[in-house]
Structure 1
Amino acid sequence: MALVTKRSKKRKQYLILSLIFFFFFSNGFIVGKIINSYEAGYPKIQQYDVGIVLGGFSGLNKRNDEIAFSGASDRLFQAIALYKKGIIKQILLSSGSANLIDKEVKEADLALKYLRLIGIPDSAILIENQSRNTIENARYSLALIAKKNPQAKVLVITSAWHIPRAKIIFDRHTKNKIEYYPTNFSRGTEFELGDFIIPNTAALGTWELLFKEWIGLLVDRIRG
């Protein structure tokens, strides 16, 4: 009888812990406050020689062999807007292929075709199509800029949640000051009643994003 009682208590404890765990990680307010504090804010806007657009915003639509944009496509669209406003003089597309199977499809090449399609002149576009990750984004794109204009003022354009990791990596690869422009924020800064009390599966997705970035930070520190 005592053994049954102990097992029953343990089951209740596990159930309570599971409910607490589920409520914490599915709560929109909790993860919202964390992601809002983690994501980078806007820099004081000035003029830049080059805006580096980090990859991960598109792929190849094999049905028509055209570019297919992903949820991070705001990276490219914001770069285009910054160019049109005269804030950046050139757009540097930094992205090769992270696909181990189809290495021939280079994201930067796909994006180049799109920029040409909408009328961006080749003189305003730089291409770095060998990088497979953020470390290589920094290494290859900064090397390209150093050859053309060592004193160039550089703006890195990427997702708001990606900037903390990107900043550590890029700052490690240059002594020049670099600014960072955030795009596609994960969520707004306002909260509704449901965010406090109603479990939300979207919150789990945000946690997944954060954990990937935090693991990426750890791996990047190890790899250098």
Structure 2
Amino acid sequence: MFFVLSKLLQYLVMPLLWVLALLVFGLISRNKAKSRKAFLMATGLLLFFSNTLISNEVWLAWEPKPVLMKDVALYDAAIVLTGVTRHEKSPHDRTHYSEGSERILDAIQLYKLGKIKKIIITGGSGSLVSVANTEAQDLRQTALYAGVPTADILLEEKSRNTRENAQFTKELLQAHPELKKLLLITSAFHMRRAQGCFTKANVAFDAFPADFQTQDRRYTLDDVLIPNVDALKNWSKILHEWLGFVTYKLLGYA
């Protein structure tokens, strides 16, 4: 039930949906004052949430600081979280990334640099319908193409969300007591929730945030004055993550 509800709630935190709701109300309302107020609120929300500068500042405050690869110590394994592929896209003989491919690409680079000995990929499917491959299988394919030996890739394929990532990875690790020093890799915006879940599951780790959504601060006219659809998308993403983070905290998952 929680899994299905979490999928439905993500649509309620889309700023564009709020703007559209106000516009529809303004159009159907017979009260001219309320209609005018709805249109003004819709315009204000649209200008706020489509502002690149504001969006970037919010992301800079939320995402943790990056860890330079040269500063990463030697780890027995890196735990890579999935949630970055497009399972509904054909053909299914290759991996289609929606975003966040840096999760597995950074793990591959760290492996090539000799910083990690093995890669643990955790993730079944976050879809409500059946899929051709698990996400762990998809990311493993990318690692194999990059030359990582099959023996150095471990899969956890049952989890559907971050909480289950931690729980089922804990079970996998119990079968591999030799893997003691661990590096957790996920997108920077998702790292707080992931850290909470893995700590709750009593998995000791260091964090390596990847897939940063921010850009260096700049104050151009485009960023300050011109509405940007990417800013709207970024707000939807971070509001969804905030909702997930608060929900996990309230339920004791993280």
Same fold (TM over 0.5): yes
- CA shift for structure 1 position 153: 1.3
- CA shift for structure 1 position 162: 0.8
> C-alpha separation between the residues in 1 aligned to 2:35 and 2:128?
45
Which residue pairs with 1:173 in the alignment? 201
Whether the 8 Å contact between 2:66 and 2:210 is mirrored in structure 1 is no
- CA shift for structure 1 position 140: 1.0
Given the alignment, which residue of 39, 55, 58 partners 1:31?
55
**TM-score scaled by length of structure 1:** 0.86
- CA shift for structure 1 position 157: 0.8
Which residue pairs with 2:80 in the alignment? 53
Which residue pairs with 1:112 in the alignment? 140
Secondary structure of 1:71's counterpart equals coil
Which residue pairs with 1:161 in the alignment? 189
Pairing 1:93–2:121 present: yes
**Which protein has the larger Cα radius of gyration, Structure 1 or Structure 2?**
1
Pairing 1:149–2:177 present: yes
**TM-score scaled by length of structure 2:** 0.77
- CA shift for structure 1 position 58: 2.2
> C-alpha separation between the residues in 2 aligned to 1:214 and 1:96?
23
Whether the 8 Å contact between 2:92 and 2:132 is mirrored in structure 1 is no
Listed as ranges, the gaps of 5+ residues in structure 1 are 1-6
Write the deviation string for residues 144-197 of structure 1: whole angstroms up to 9, x where unpaired. 123312771111111111111111111111163x21112121131222332111
The count of corresponding residues between Structure 1 and Structure 2 is 217
Given the alignment, which residue of 183, 195, 213 partners 1:186?
213
Q: 1:175 to 1:122 in 2, by over 3 A?
A: closer
Which residue pairs with 1:79 in the alignment? 107
> C-alpha separation between the residues in 1 aligned to 2:147 and 2:135?
19
Whether the 8 Å contact between 1:97 and 1:104 is mirrored in structure 2 is no
TM-align CA RMSD: 2.2
Given the alignment, which residue of 13, 22, 45 partners 1:21?
45
* 87-96 vs 122-131, greater mean Cα deviation: 122-131
Given the alignment, which residue of 57, 61, 66 partners 1:42?
66
Whether the 8 Å contact between 1:57 and 1:74 is mirrored in structure 2 is no
> C-alpha separation between the residues in 1 aligned to 2:203 and 2:119?
21
Whether the 8 Å contact between 1:93 and 1:128 is mirrored in structure 2 is yes
Secondary structure of 1:66's counterpart equals coil
Which residue pairs with 1:197 in the alignment? 225
Whether the 8 Å contact between 2:184 and 2:207 is mirrored in structure 1 is yes
> C-alpha separation between the residues in 1 aligned to 2:128 and 2:83?
15
